[in-house]
Amino acid sequence: MRLDYSYDDQKGAELRQRRNVGFEDVVRVFFKTHYWELRNDNPEQYLAIGELDDHFWSIVYEEWEDELGELLWLITFWPSTPREVERYYKYVYGE
């Protein structure tokens, strides 16, 4: 499966420095089972929550589409909160 994504390079560098993880790492959440929800209507932004290497990550993104296809614009990410992990388990396992 191919996934086209992009992000602001400066924001990516700042997040990598603060979290020791980068967008190119957490984007793997989209290749695994993950929970997502609409986070904001204007602009339309989504929150994805998923597990990577025994850690949960929350990613805010937008879906863009042009003549070349669909692109995920990654905005920010953080270690998931306990409440976000709970939503993930409820969605994935019905718990």
pTM: 0.90
Query: pLDDT above 70 covers what percent of the chain?
Result: 98
Domains of the chain: residue spans and CATH? 5-93 (3.10.450)
**Tens digit of pLDDT for each residue in 2-37?**
689 999 999 999 999 999 999 999 999 999 999 999
Distant-in-sequence, close-in-space partners of 26: CB < 8 Å, separation ≥ 6 = 52, 57, 59, 74, 77
Note the pLDDT of residue 1.
Answer: 57
Q: What is the SS3 assignment for 68?
A: coil
Amino acid at 61: Y
Q: Exposed, middle or buried: residue 51 (CB in 10 Å: 0-12, 13-18, 19+)?
A: middle
Please tell me the predicted confidence (pLDDT) of residue 66: 77
